[in-house]
Amino acid sequence: MIEASIPVATDAISPRRDAPLTPGATQLGVLGGGQLGRMFVHAAQVHGFRVAVLEPDAASPAGAAADTHLCAAYADACALAALAAQCAAVTTEFENVPAGSLRTLAARLPVSPPADAVEICQHRAREKTAFAAAGVPCAPHALIASADDAAAPALAALLPGILKTATLGYDGKGQANVASPADVAPAWAAMGGVPCVLEQRLPLRLEISVIVARGRDGQVVHLPVQQNLHRQGILAVTQVPAPDVPAGTAAEAVALAQRLVRALDYVGVLCVEFFVLTDGRLVANEMAPRPHNSGHYSIDACDVSQFDLQVRTLAGLPLVAPRLHSPAVMLNLLGDLWFEAGDVAAAAPRTPDWPGVMSLPGVRLHLYGKAEARRGRKMGHLTVTAADAATARAVALQAAARLGLPAF
């Protein structure tokens, strides 16, 4: 890894913005230094691209893997100029980068996903408006941006509900349950009075997600439908093929995600999370303008992973439909595993039993290189692949037991 802060001449800016970039000859850029950026770096490097990461944290998962780490804020004008000078195209690994940075870069070189779409995904109300505009069903909801909004009698129809901050929520953070009309104003005040969305609590049978990728030429491909189990608002387990999803529901979810990616005139990888309700209906929960935790299995179980798709869409290279070559189960590895069970405050540190899980057939360990384990922090994941779904699940249950994770 090279720390660079001054622009260096590039040998390889594409003369035509729409021409495919040449693997092996160019550098790609990514805004953000988290694990999604790290896995993008790995995929890009496999294709022969060099990668520059813009990330203010000097010790980040993606920065450690990149060819070049520009250590600066995402809106730093000098750093953005350096990134544009060094790279042939730029992407992002998380949705909360300043959209202005993407626009600044887009004036100089190809950027995907587009700033407009990222900006929509940054705000839950705008996101729901985009769902509705594309004909994708979403939860009944209301924007709460003032004390008057919080006192509106019409909110009663949305209760019991979940109050969610409109921006910056992830892994269930910035959310509160609201049971009665009198609870709305105090819950909103407890959120600091920031703009929020009050969403009706829906009766979920299960949760699924669909990852689609759309190229510069408008071609759309997708990964198989993923069935997701959340614990405490955080993704815990993904199973593919989705064991409990009827074929018709899966096909409908894919069609809705395709409709959305086209309506947004999107280029890049987009993940759409859906609820499957107890009556079988599909409701879009949220979307992510990037690869998604629920798609990590694709690295080990598909011939084209979600990160390969991000590379291809960014570089303007051909898209081919990914093929799932093995059933897969992904287990998220949160920082909790690095502490002995028992009293949370006093728990002693420990190292998870890696040899124990790696002795199981078909297990692949991915750790993101984060120095400090904290509860709820995503430290890595395990993918279990097998010749059939029943075996993948059985081995994943064994792995979970050896790590002290609950069964699923």
Of 172 and 241, which CB lies nearer to ligand ATP in the complex structure?
172
DSSP run (H or E) holding 213: strand 204-214
Asked if 259 interacts with ligand ATP (CB under 6 A), we say no
Nearest to 40 by CA among 234, 341, 312, 387: 312
* Residues 6+ away with beta carbon under 8 Å from 109: 13, 17, 84, 87, 88, 89, 90
Q: How far apart are CA 31 and CA 94, in angstroms?
A: 8
162 binds ligand ATP (CB under 6 A): yes
Q: Is the separation of the CB atoms in 140 and 173 below 8 Å?
A: no
* Residue of 201, 205, 364, 377 interacting with ligand ATP (CB under 6 A): 201
Gap between the Cα atoms of 293 and 366, Å rounded: 12
* Binding track over 173-192 against ligand ATP, x by CB under 6 A: x-------------------
* Binding flag, residue 207, ligand ATP (CB under 6 A): yes
Q: Give the residue from 303, 288, 298 showing the smallest Cα distance to 238.
A: 298
Does 227 participate in binding ligand ATP (rule CB under 6 A)?
no
Nearer to ligand ATP, 204 or 401 (CB): 204
Is residue 229 involved in binding ligand ATP (CB under 6 A)?
A: no
Dihedral sign for Cα atoms in the order 209, 196, 143, 266: negative
Within 293-352, which residues bind ligand ATP (CB under 6 A)? none
Q: Does 286 bind ligand ATP (CB under 6 A)?
A: yes
Among 23, 98, 233, 241, binds ligand ATP (CB under 6 A): 233
Rounded to whole angstroms, the Cα distance separating 1 from 366 reads: 20
Beta strands in 146-300 (DSSP E): 161-165, 175-178, 196-200, 204-214, 220-222, 226-231, 234-240, 268-277, 282-288
Residue 196 near ligand ATP by CB under 6 A: no
Mark the segment that binds ligand ATP (CB under 6 A) among 70-78, 168-176, 247-255, 357-365: 168-176
Task: Give the CA distances from residue 4 to residues 52, 72, 81, 108, 163, in Å, rounded to whole numbers and listed in that order.
Answer: 9, 10, 12, 20, 42
Which window, 143-151, 163-171, 357-365, 384-392, contacts ligand ATP (CB under 6 A)? 163-171
Residue span binding ligand ATP (CB under 6 A) among the ranges 13-21, 196-204, 361-369, 395-403: 196-204
Answer for which of 77, 157, 204, 247 binds ligand ATP (CB under 6 A) is 204
Shortest separation between residue 139's beta carbon and ligand ATP, angstroms: 4
Site of interaction with ligand ATP (CB under 6 A)? 139, 162, 164, 169-173, 199, 201-202, 204, 207, 230, 233, 273, 285-286
